[in-house]
Structure formats: C-alpha cells, structure tokens
Amino acid sequence: MALIVQKYGGTSVGSLERMQNVAARARKTQEQGHRVVLIVSAMAGETNRLLGMAHKLTPLPDARELDALAATGEQVSAALVALAIQAQGGKAKSFLGHQLKIMTDSAYTKARILAIDAGRLHEALDSGAIGVVAGFQGVDDAGNITTLGRGGSDTSAVAVAAALGADACEIYTDVDGVYTTDPNICPSAKKIDKVSYEEMLELASLGAKVLQIRSVEVAMKYQVPVEVKSSFSDTPGTWVVREDEALESTVVRGVALDKNEARVMLVGCDDKPGVVAKIFGALADQHIAVDMIIQSPSRHSNGRNGPSVDVTFTVNKSDLERTKLIVAGVLESVGGTAAEYDENVVKVSIVGLGMRSHAGVAAKMFALLAKEGVNIQAIATSEIRVSCLVESKYAELSVRALHDGFELGA
C-alpha cells in the first residue's frame, strides 16, 4: 500500500464531467489499495474570470484582496471533486489552505510555503476517505489567505506529498509528460521517461511550462518522486526523480524556449568599481529579477576620460516598464550615455546533466546556430545548461536546429 498524491490542473477539472473522471481515477487508485490525496486547481478559466473582475474595478488591485478572491477558484473545485467522489459511492473530504495550516510567508500572489500540518489529512486517510486539497493557496501567520503564484497548485501538491511522506506525487495535466522540446515547434519531440530534479528545474525555469519551478525545488529538497502525466489517458508520463535514478545519462536532455525576456543595454557606463552594483542594486530593491548579464567594453565613448563599458542584461517582459524607470534613475550616475531596450528577443537553451562531464557541448550549440545564420546576442550558462539570446524571428528555427543537431528526436 502506497500513499499517492495526485494533482489535477484546471483543464483536468474544467467541467463537472471531467471532475467525475478525476473522481473515478482517484477511486480506482484507492481500490488498488493505496491511500489517495488529490490537489485540485481552479476550473479552467475561473482564475482569469475572478482576476478580470478585480482589474475592472481597479488597475492596481491590492494583493491581499486578490488572493482572497483568487483562492475561491480552488475552494470550489475541492468541494465539487469531493462531492463527485461521494456521488460515486466513495468517501471524501475537502481541505482548504487554512484548514491544513498550509503556512506561507505574507508575499501575496507569490507566497512560499513554510510548513504544512498534515495531521488532519492523515485523520481523513485513516478513516478511509480521499483527501481533496484546494491547491494554490495557503495562509500566513495572521490568518490572511495567500496564493502561490501561477502554477502554484503544483507546489501545493509536492509540498503536501512531502509533508505526508507520500510515495509519489502524480501531476495530471493536459499533456502526457515532459518533452525534449515543445512538440508544437518540433513534431519529432520525444517524451522523456525520466528526468532529474536538476534538469527539470532548468527546463521549468526556461519556459517548459509543465511544472511550476518552485514545485521542482520542493520536490528536490524533500526527494519527492514526481510523475507528470495526462489526465486524459493512461499512458505513463515523465518521472522527475533523483539524479541517480534518472538512469539514462544523456548529454542534452531537452531544448527550451523562453519568450518572456526582454534585453536592456546601458551604453557607455564608467568602467569602475561599484557601477554594476549600483544598477543591479536598484533593480533588486524593486524585486526585479535579472537573468543574463553581460558587461563588455563599450564600442561607444561616453565622452569622458577613461574606458567605458556597455552593460547588457535581460528581465522578464512584465518587469520592463518598471525597469525603464529604474534605469532612467541611475543611468546618469553610472556615466551611461543611453539605454536601449529590445523585446524582440527569445532565449533558447539546452539542458542536460551530461554536460558536466562532456566538453564541447556549448561549442556544438554555437556551431549549430551559426550554421543557420542565427546571431547570438548573449550567452549564459550553468553547470547543466547553456542559453543563448537570439532575435525572435529565429526562435523556432533555433529550437529545431538544436533538437535535430543533438539528436533528441523520436
């Protein structure tokens, strides 16, 4: 007998009929002798409907109220799925964030889970019930309702699985696993059977939207085996597991595409200590996350004595307007002569544990892009990833060239 946590996304609970399917699957798992806990998202479209009302009232809604509002979507799903299980003759009980004491910090709309009291869930399981937990939500220590950000139900699921000491966390979604790249771009993209937490973390943060990044971090921290699979079929999905369990060590596991970054360049800054700290300190103060950073000797003179540098970095497009204000505020004090902004860029990346031990992977990537005439605007690397910023029009071409070049196809 195992303890299985199953998470169902908005599409999987998008109608009463689909909820009945979810109920049937959960019951089937229970009938196989397992203890079952479900984590459910809001019905597809519901979160947008709720937040849409808030934004009609005010362009900058208060985050505390937004969270109280949005959390109702998952509350509705949890109650309805519990009822669907009962309607099929099963036993079920719904739980909200505050009822399970899913304690988070107070960072509304993007809160982080700090602790979960799994006691009440264990009680429900002991009584033979299926626990149905509203995903996406928690509560801070003052009792305010918080939410975990888009895709937060994934994190709810993994965190609940960790708190319960579950044997597996199954993430049911509208795709049947994690692919070597987006199948809409590369028809030859292949489903990955096993991927390590580290690789999944890179893939998730690079735009493979199958799992919320934070959920992978929690899974890695607590060593929760996660399976991403389709709620519309019974085919095996993709397991996200410890590195030593992700047997087949491939140099490149997948190719990811991220269209959400914008490039910023401060031209002709002073080349002296403290300049870069000033720029990125100002951004950090406003909680703007910076991704790729490049500092290079300026091709332009700043008209003063001494060398000058161009500082290039990328930010999320949604942060670009605020970034412009901050850059305008510091540009003069760092000696910059101009600021350039470019939203017409994408980040294409290759990810794989094998890169640690294989030399020449980055070189091969650059060569594959060059062969297609794609100019690289910036490069960033981690131990198991190489990312290149390229012009938007080359996005799909670059992904296909890399996917084929590294022989990832089916």
Residues near its own copies (CB under 8 A): 16, 19-20, 50, 53-54, 56-58, 61-62, 64-66, 68-69, 71-72, 75-76, 78-80, 82-84, 86-87, 93-94, 96, 98-99, 120, 143-145
- Compute the least distance from the CB of residue 287 to its own copies, in Å: 21
- Compute the least distance from the CB of residue 89 to its own copies, in Å: 10
- Compute the least distance from the CB of residue 54 to its own copies, in Å: 5
Instruction: Give all strands (DSSP E) within 14-167, no chain letters.
Output: 35-40, 92-95, 103-104, 113-115, 130-134, 137-139, 145-147
Match 């594959």 to its residue by tokens: 368
What is the dihedral angle through the alpha carbons of 376, 381, 386, 390, rounded to the nearest 10 degrees? -20
- Compute the least distance from the CB of residue 50 to its own copies, in Å: 7
* CA-closest candidate to residue 121, choices 231, 38, 20, 239: 38
- Compute the least distance from the CB of residue 194 to its own copies, in Å: 37
CB closer to its own copies out of 61 and 225: 61
CB closer to its own copies out of 84 and 164: 84
The residue type at 71: A
**Using only C-alpha atoms, what is the Rg of the chain?**
23
CB closer to its own copies out of 78 and 161: 78
Q: Using CA atoms, how far apart are residues 35 and 23, in angstroms rounded to an integer?
A: 14
93: left (phi over 0), alpha (psi -120 to 50) or beta: beta
- Compute the least distance from the CB of residue 142 to its own copies, in Å: 9
CB closer to its own copies out of 76 and 380: 76
CB closer to its own copies out of 82 and 256: 82
CB closer to its own copies out of 50 and 376: 50
* CA-closest candidate to residue 53, choices 37, 75, 72: 72
State how far Cα 14 lies from the chain centre: 21
Q: Is 152 exposed, middle or buried (0-12, 13-18, 19+ CB in 10 A)?
A: buried
- Compute the least distance from the CB of residue 172 to its own copies, in Å: 19
* Contacts (Cβ under 8 Å, ≥6 apart) of 155: 113, 148, 212, 214, 215, 218
The residue type at 7: K
CB closer to its own copies out of 48 and 223: 48
- Compute the least distance from the CB of residue 154 to its own copies, in Å: 22
State how far Cα 338 lies from the chain centre: 34
What is the dihedral angle through the alpha carbons of 60, 62, 67, 68, rounded to the nearest 10 degrees? -130
